[in-house]
Structure 1
Amino acid sequence: MAKKNINEMSFLDHLEELRWLLVRSTIAILIAATAVFFVADYIFDEIIFGPTKADFITYRWFCELSHYVGFKDSICVESLDFIIQNTAMEGQVNIFVWICIVAGFIVAFPYILWELWKFISPALYPKERKHAKLFIFVASILFFLGVLFGYFVVIPMSVNFFATFKVSSVVKNEFNIESYISMVKTSVIASGLFFEMPIIIYFLTKLGLVTPMFLRKYWKWAVIIILIVAAIVTPPDVVSQIIVALPMLAIYELSIGISKLVYNKKLKELENG
């Protein structure tokens, strides 16, 4: 169990600290969202709607990969036959505001981590508090890698699948903008947070809530869940599912390794008194 400071705060003091953490984090997000406002045209045209274009970089990579492994044009994207439309009067305004906020959250994420570190650091050993910069750097890198994975892998595969799937040639795909933006937000944020698993497992192991034996015991279930998720967000071909599943499996294995290091260190500390 992590060692706490001698002068422990009361429950209300902790709530007050948490409240100010949320206030400062919210202000940081709003400031970042305001900055995003000035480049909103580029964000929407080139980033948000980038995966809706057949010449998007991910589709080109997959096509080259398809040729490399001998699948010819099996996963090449030649066209995406669908349109995105707005059906609500306030729809585009709401989308604009929420994209600014989500982008603001992504940009301000390192600062939010810093606030979170200040909140939990009193419960850590003095020598552990010295690792603040390392924690923020590693956690930020993992989050941004997850965001990139969601944007360059999960979203294009989802768009390609839903754009090309038809129950009949009679039906035309006309996607609501709220549905599309919701998929983009969910894919990016969920992937970013999933890549934070090693950090989360690190703290859970230190608190004694998780052990490497537990994670290894349920490894098969984790693999099944990851493969199911990969099958849901990708087209029904093996190559696409593997491309999504492998990084997720690597993150889970990394989490087990980190948990093992922390667990063994705790055992040594107990043995040494």
Structure 2
Amino acid sequence: MPELPEVAAVAAALDAKLSGRIIAEGHLVSFAALKTFKVPLDALAGLEVSSVSRHGKFVDIDAQGVHLIFHLARAGWVTWHDEAPPVPARRGRSGLALRVVLDDGSGFSLTEAGTQKGLAIYVVEDPREVPGIQALGPDPLAEGFTVADFRGVLEQAGRAQLKGVLRDQKILAGIGNAYSDEILHAAKLSPFKAANSLTPEEADALFEQVRAVLQGAVDAAVGTPIGELKDAKRAGMRVHGRTGEACEVCGATIAEVSFADSSLQYCPGCQTGGKPLADRRLSKLLK
């Protein structure tokens, strides 16, 4: 699933390619993916793209005040075309959901793999009309987000486990399963530790690692071709997706906890004092 760093990189890449260009046409292939109807997709035709930005995991293409916003969910992705394929576009095996063509013949496609469909597309006049954006918590990389703010987030989360707190978009915007694993490993904290049980020193260290891990990943991702971002993300992981491998920090074997539809990875040596965490397949942690 694309998270804050990859979404930031996609937004930066699209901003460089789209800003100043005119949207010639859009071809919606997956009608279920379009979540808004007040402003039609056709309203984008003939408009100049002003900028492309990010709200959490949402990409926002602003075309003279009309916003094409999308969320890639678990299996969505963006493909750039120097020369857009012929239209009309068809879904087929590619999982094509939307293709946007620009005035110079270039463009991009939104696709989604698999049978579980979560890709969401919105056309709105105000990004806050998108329920997911309206509900977002603070952006952990925002300049105004301070360690005091973060302490308040942890205190308000109460006994909720850190893994779930970091992943909850209503608490903090943009962090998903992979980077929450990486952040907790860097901070040497158990994913099951209660948010309000951290000492001031632990809370400050976690705040520093939230910022450091995410900013480091953004710096590495921005400028990477869109087609290479997935592989670059996997290559940069130290614990996530590395079950059974040796931790490069302490040498312990990276372990996993499985849930109904997901899993987390952690280092027992760095994070839990050498103790394995119980498998919680029926846990509601990741829901």
TM-score for both structures, normalised by structure 2: 0.22
TM-score by length of 1: 0.23
Q: Which of the pair has more CA radius of gyration?
A: 1
Greater share of residues in strand: 2
Higher relative contact order, chain-length normalized (CA < 8 Å, sep 6+): 1
